[in-house]
Amino acid sequence: MTLHRMPLAESPPAPAPLIDPFARAITYLRVSVTDRCDFRCVYCMAEDMTFLPKADILSLEELDRLCSAFIVKGVRKLRLTGGEPLVRRGIMNLVSSLSRHLESGALDELTLTTNGSQLPKYARDLAAAGVKRINVSLDTLDPDKFRAITRWGDLHKVLDGIEAARATGLAVKINAVALRGTNEDEFAQLVRWAHGLGMDLTLIEVMPLGDVDGGRLDQYLPLSAVRAQLAREFTLDEIDYRTGGPARYVRVKETGGRLGFITPLTHNFCESCNRVRVTCTGTLFMCLGQDDAADLRAPLRASERNDRLFAAIDEAISRKPKGHDFIIDRRHQHPAVARHMNVTGG
């Protein structure tokens, strides 16, 4: 089945690129294609979640048109995420359709973040559609801990998914959230495992997004401490490597592999932020850690032409805030924003 694309408005002259009030060029769009997921990670969702009504969710054709409009506006990197992007029905039709922007040269990279559970089914199609690299989220190599963190997940299925992706030639980066008392004794092992298979590893600080069952302080582990711990075991050499995302990398001398740190709490990098996020209902969030948002679904549906959509995007970018200020400590245990990560897209 191919995606029936809505006509892109023939709107000369080319719309102006997206520059925010702090002179940052917005070239990276993350799209949450569904808020649903086959896992219930304890730091991401509550166990008993209410999902968005299906009627509110953009069709794949609408998502395609929305992404394409951002590409016309200068987005060069597109990441599909969720929820779990690979549980959205028909997702490969969207990926295949969007890959035309890789072929045309309008897009540098089409990628996705996944929990890996569906990769045995989709890895080959992703590679065939021009996806070169994917991020797989994996916080532990211990099957019992994995089940405890994800509530519903099966580690072996994910490891099979990673193998399937690697077998098709996809570059896999592993993302692990650092969780106090859960995986804090495993980072050296994760480094050796990921690097042993030729995969980059990125560690992420837990962010106070949405109410989850239990306090954030119990989960939060500053990466400054993790880095110091790893530096006792490995030689960490600073490198300039960048992927267009927020991670800062070192090379681990002993393994030869790259290790990234995403530190929204101990050291945010908002000054170089180049990204915005759109949800599966067409809500644009200009910052992961702020509530301000713009509705793009109404202008998208109001007309087959893109003029209103472009205007709504421009207006939203003119309001992109300087950054977020996540804090997790004894006095700040409430969510910085009410929505969970599965809605905004990780």
Q: Which among 244, 247, 249 has a CA at the least distance from the CA of 259?
A: 249
For the bound state, the minimum distance from the C-beta of residue 232 to ligand SAM, rounded and expressed in Å, comes to 25
Using CB under 6 A as the binding rule, whether residue 174 contacts ligand SAM is answered as: no
Our CB check for ligand SAM shows the closer of 178 and 250 to be 178
For the bound state, the minimum distance from the C-beta of residue 169 to ligand SAM, rounded and expressed in Å, comes to 20
Residues 96-135: x/- map of binding to ligand SAM (CB under 6 A)? Answer: -----------------xxx--------------------
Among 43, 146, 220, 326, which residue sits at the site for ligand SAM (rule: CB under 6 A)? Answer: 43
Using CB under 6 A as the binding rule, whether residue 84 contacts ligand SAM is answered as: yes
For the bound state, the minimum distance from the C-beta of residue 115 to ligand SAM, rounded and expressed in Å, comes to 4
Using CB under 6 A as the binding rule, whether residue 209 contacts ligand SAM is answered as: yes
Using CB under 6 A as the binding rule, whether residue 341 contacts ligand SAM is answered as: yes
The region of 2-10, 66-74, 78-86, 235-243 touching ligand SAM under the rule CB under 6 A is: 78-86
SS3 236: strand
Q: Are strands 171-178 and 248-252 parallel, antiparallel or unpaired?
A: unpaired
Give the Å distances, CA to CA, from 99 to 168, 198, 300, 344: 17, 26, 21, 23
Site for ligand SAM in 274-293 (CB under 6 A): none
SS3 262: strand
For the bound state, the minimum distance from the C-beta of residue 11 to ligand SAM, rounded and expressed in Å, comes to 33
Dist. CA 278–CA 282, nearest whole Å? 6
Angle between helix 119-128 and 155-167 (nearest 10)? 20
Handedness of CA 160, 165, 166, 172 (dihedral sign): negative
User: Cβ(341)–Cβ(207) under 8 Å?
Assistant: yes
For the bound state, the minimum distance from the C-beta of residue 239 to ligand SAM, rounded and expressed in Å, comes to 22
Task: Give phi and psi for 181, each to the nearest 5.
Answer: 70, 0
For the bound state, the minimum distance from the C-beta of residue 125 to ligand SAM, rounded and expressed in Å, comes to 17
Using CB under 6 A as the binding rule, whether residue 81 contacts ligand SAM is answered as: yes
Q: Which among 193, 202, 309 has a CA at the least distance from the CA of 247?
A: 202
The region of 40-48, 159-167, 297-305, 311-319 touching ligand SAM under the rule CB under 6 A is: 40-48
Dist. CA 78–CA 71, nearest whole Å? 9
Using CB under 6 A as the binding rule, whether residue 202 contacts ligand SAM is answered as: no
Angle at the Cα of 203 from the Cα atoms of 273 and 47, rounded to 5 degrees? 95
Rg (CA), the chain: 19
Using CB under 6 A as the binding rule, whether residue 69 contacts ligand SAM is answered as: no
The region of 10-18, 58-66, 101-109, 203-211 touching ligand SAM under the rule CB under 6 A is: 203-211
For the bound state, the minimum distance from the C-beta of residue 321 to ligand SAM, rounded and expressed in Å, comes to 19
Q: Running DSSP on this structure, what letter comes out for residue 65?
A: H
For residue 45, which amino acid is it? M
Q: How many CB atoms lie within 10 A of CB 130?
A: 17
Using CB under 6 A as the binding rule, whether residue 245 contacts ligand SAM is answered as: no
Q: Write out the residues near ligand SAM by the rule CB under 6 A.
A: 37, 41, 43-44, 81-82, 84, 113-115, 137, 175, 177, 204, 206-207, 209, 341-342, 346
